[in-house]
Structure 1
């Protein structure tokens, strides 16, 4: 799995975002392209500690532990997987604004590539720097494929 901390993967993701069109149609799912761009900000905000999520109860944390490695392994995610309620975008969004916002937060995340200490994820616990980079790449790749980019 690629990592958003590598220059090549970072450049690839940024190029794919730049190629998106505001009228792009989803190959699956309920979001439009502008909502997808807004949605993709949330996991990056969690990693950068700009979005605080409530910790689930012990049972849910235990349950999530079975899926943790799927966040950063090489196996592609299935289409239309359920998402955390905090990451669902219901309202309409402006394409150019969301595209710019996403590119800025990706750049900020990428610039943390030398950071070794990362906070635990509120739902999944501790991740290494490598796992954070792979997880963010995998999420972006999944949604860019959703819109043919």
Structure 2
């Protein structure tokens, strides 16, 4: 799997993001392109901000038990998988703002590097090794860029 900690792979992701336009349509799903960018930003907001409340201990246990392996494992996401409420974007979003934020999040993640994330506490899954952080970040973003044909 490619890596959000590898400059060449981040450059490729950035190029894919830059191919999107306000008119880009999804190949599946209901989100508009700006909503998808905002949706992808949530993963990084959970790391870099306190915008999203952490799940209670019971819910965190359920997420670690039932969801974690699907999120941090190598198997690609299926189309139409359910998503956590924090990731559901129903309102309209500013395309350029969300695009810029996503590219900035990728740059920040690359600059911090895998060692920064190794053992870092995940919002929902507890402490993760750097490789699982990469899988979670890369797989999610790749899934949605593929959804929009880039």
Counterpart contact for 1:3–1:135, Cα < 8 Å: no
Deviation at 1:86, TM superposition (A): 1.0
Partners of 2:9 and 2:73 in 1: how far apart?
A: 15
| 100-109 vs 55-64, which moves further | 55-64
The equivalent residue for 1:87 is: 87
Partners of 2:100 and 2:93 in 1: how far apart?
A: 12
Structure with more contact order per residue of length (Cα contacts < 8 Å, sep ≥ 6): 1
Deviation at 1:107, TM superposition (A): 0.9
Partners of 2:118 and 2:24 in 1: how far apart?
A: 38
Question: How many residues are matched?
Answer: 149
**TM-score (normalizing by structure 2):** 0.88
Unaligned runs of 5+ in 1: none
Note closer, same or farther for the CA distance 1:116–1:102 as it changes in structure 2 (3 Å cut): closer
The alignment status of 1:127 with 2:140, answered yes or no, reads: no
Partners of 2:61 and 2:45 in 1: how far apart?
A: 20
| 99-108 vs 40-49, which moves further | 40-49
| 130-139 vs 66-75, which moves further | 66-75
Unaligned runs of 5+ in 2: none
